[in-house]
Amino acid sequence: MRLLLLGPPGAGKGTQADSISKKFNIPHISTGDIFRENIKQNTELGMKAQKYMNKGLLVPDDLVVDLVKDRLMQDDCKGGFLLDGFPRTIPQANALDHELLAMSQTLDKAINIQVDKEILIERAVGRRVCKKCGAAFHIQFNPPLEEGTCDKCGGQLQQRKDDQEETVVKRIEVYFEQTEPLIQYYEDKGILMNVDGEKDIKAVFDGITQGLRG
């Protein structure tokens, strides 16, 4: 099964991706992981990507596509894969289609996790992370027993910079500007599957598995 995961920041893609990967026994592939692994291994593509990242620049589309293509050609992808974080734009989607076609493959489904913008902001802004052990809490949905203190290790909880409201709003706006057009792109191809991401985690996963089996 060859799948693609769409959804704005805070939609719960990471959580669902892990569950989908285990359920269908396919690798969860994120561009961030690909970059880190190639840089760690000092591959030619990894060194090229790092030059852009060190300058604070976006890695060009053609290089991202080459990195993804290289990953998809590895043995563990023969039975399928779950792409997360790529493609982000229509040109990247076109390039992915081209590369898959060259490999005699196509995407089976593009899973779009839908969450209202206000709920996304509420979810992100309320997150708190332990400075010591990294455990995550939420002041509304999963509060610690003692305010500001980690239940697991007693460490101090903090709000990450990228969870501050101004940053969160900007990230969501960038998503809707750059990535949301992909929803129509995959709908036109007849492979889009919309899932209500405002339900609890298990209900969202059940919706995804039912949709894939249907």
Q: Judge whether 13 counts as a catalytic residue.
A: yes
Each residue of 122-164: pLDDT tens digit? 988 999 999 999 898 999 889 999 999 999 999 999 998 888 9
Distance from the Cα of residue 188 to its chain's centroid: 22
User: Is the peptide bond between 9 and the residue preceding it cis, with omega within 30 degrees of 0?
Assistant: no
* pTM of the entire predicted model: 0.83
Q: Judge whether 160 counts as a catalytic residue.
A: yes
Which is nearest to 193 in space by CA: 114, 109, 127?
109
For the sheet containing 127-130, what is the strand order?
136-138, 127-130, 157-158
What b/e readout covers 135-149, taking b as 16+ CB neighbours within 10 angstroms?
eebeeeeeebeeeee
Which residue of the set 2, 71, 88, 128 is catalytic? Answer: 88
Report DSSP letters for 37-66, one per residue: HHHHTT-HHHHHHHHHHHTTPPPPHHHHHH
Is the domain covering 2-115+168-213 a CATH 3.30.2000.10 domain?
Answer: no
Q: Are 194 and 114 in contact (CB under 8 A)?
A: yes
Q: What is the pLDDT of residue 14?
A: 84
Percentage above 90 pLDDT, the chain: 73
Q: Judge whether 36 counts as a catalytic residue.
A: no
pLDDT band at 75 (very low <50, low <70, confident <90, very high): very high
Q: Judge whether 171 counts as a catalytic residue.
A: yes
